[in-house]
Structure 1
Amino acid sequence: MQSFLVSTSVVGLAEIGDKTQLLSLVLAARYRKPIPIVLGVFVATLINHGFSGALGAWLASIIRPEIMNWAVVASFAVMAVWILIPDKLDDADALPVKDSMGVFGTTAITFFIAEMGDKTQIVTVALAARFHEFFGVVAGTTLGMMLANVPVIYLGHKFADRLPTKAVHILAALIFVVLGGLALRTALYPDAHPMF
């Protein structure tokens, strides 16, 4: 349950102002069909985070725990800095697939491609490696992604313009610093009971 809650909150905050959230806004403005867009985002996220969670769990199983602990510390430190760098959605990233696939297909493929190498994908790998848990992490990161994107899809510019994006990014960065500190404690004192 802890992995689910941490994953949901971290990804939900990390997604605010992210390029995939901006893509959700573009898709909502272009197609004005929220249900297939939400379903496309859900399917793309579940598949992408499923692969990411599997990669993280696999890495945790093959890399010595001492090395994995330090890799998790480093990944949380990198994410704390990376989250403070605002994303921009390039025209080339916005809609790289043709409209002939329908709203759902266009959304699913475009969102899946945009999520490759994105912050939330990297976080999913790190969390799955840290918690040694696939299902709780993938369910949590997927829920966090949906919590951040569904309101944007339904409320569009009205909602997105009112979010204190900088404050949310600072809060997310602080959460990554705390998670990194807890992971550092585990790396320094591997025999102590882990705090998360």
Structure 2
Amino acid sequence: MEAFLVSTGIVALGEMGDKTQLLAMLLAARFRKPLPIMLGIFVATLANHAMAGAVGQWVAEAIGPQWMRWIIGGSFLAMAIWMLIPDKIDEDDADAKSLRLGVFGTTVLAFFLAEMGDKTQIATVALAARYTDFFAVVAGTTLGMMLANVPAIYLGDRIARGVSMKLVHSISAGIFAVLGVLTLLGIDRFF
């Protein structure tokens, strides 16, 4: 349960103000069809995070536990720093080949590509390497993505104006920093 809860919380906070959240807002404004956008985000996230989780599990098995502790701890600390760097959406992500693919297809393609190498994908790799429960990590990171993006679809930029992204990113950075330090210290249980 810890893997699921930590994964959900980290990604939900980490996605606030992220380029994929901005992409969700853009797609919602452009197409005004929330259901296919939500389903597209879900499918793209599940596929992307399942791949990232598999990489994390493979890395954990391929590297010994001592090295793994240092790599994961360092990764969490690097994520803490990365969280403090604001994201912006790329024009290419927002203007995918939308009409040929439809709303659902455009969303799947745009989100899948936008998540490649993104903070949440890297976090999923680290979380899957840290925890042994692949399904809990992938389910948690996917739920975290949905928790951050579904409201963005419905509320658009009202969210962006009403929530301090700097505060949210600072909280996320703090969580990653704590996870990094606890991992480096060899503390296995967080709750």
Confirm or deny that 1:194 pairs with 2:181.
Answer: no
Cα distance in 1 for partners of 2:189, 2:171 equals 20
Query: In structure 1, what is the equivalent of residue 172 of structure 2?
Result: 172
Match of 2:61 in 1: 61
Q: Measure, in 1, the Cα distance between the counterparts of 2:50 and 2:90.
A: 26
The match for 2:117 is 117
Q: CA deviation at 1:195?
A: 2.3
Summarize the alignment of residues 36-51 of structure 1 with structure 2, pairs less than 5 Å apart: 36-51=36-51
Q: Distance in 2 between matches of 1:194 and 1:81?
A: 22
Match of 2:140 in 1: 140
CA deviation map 1:81-128 (0-9, x unaligned): 000000011212212323211100000111100000000000000000
Unpaired runs of 5+ residues, structure 1, are: 187-192
Instruction: Answer yes or no: is 1:76 the counterpart of 2:70.
Output: no
Deviation by residue 1:26-46 (Cα, 9 ceiling, x = unmatched): 101100000000000000000
> Which whole-Å CA distance do the structure 2 matches of 1:10 and 1:164 have between them?
17
Kindly indicate whether the alpha-carbon contact (under 8 Å) linking 1:97 and 1:109 is maintained by their aligned counterparts in 2.
Answer: no
1:181 positional shift: 1.1
Alignment deviations for residues 38-70 of structure 1 (CA, whole Å, 9 cap, x no partner): 000000000000000111011111111111110
Segments of 5+ residues of structure 2 without an aligned counterpart are none
Runs of 4+ in 1 over 3 A off after TM superposition: none
Take 2:104 and 2:16, find their aligned partners in 1: how far apart are those partners? 22
Aligned position for 1:25:
25
- Contact persistence 1:28–1:156 (CA under 8 A): yes
1:190 aligns to what? none
TM-score, structure 1 as length reference: 0.94
Opposite residue 195 of structure 1, the aligned amino acid is: R
User: Do structure 1's residue 157 and structure 2's residue 151 form an aligned pair?
Assistant: no
- The alignment's C-alpha RMSD in Å is 1.0
Instruction: Give the total of aligned pairs.
Output: 190
Calculate the TM-score normalised by the size of structure 2.
0.97
* TM superposition shift of 1:155: 1.1
CA distance in 1 between counterparts of 2:189 and 2:185 reads: 9
Q: 3-state SS of the aligned residue for 1:96?
A: coil
The secondary structure found in structure 2 opposite 1:161 is helix
More displaced, 63-72 or 87-96?
87-96
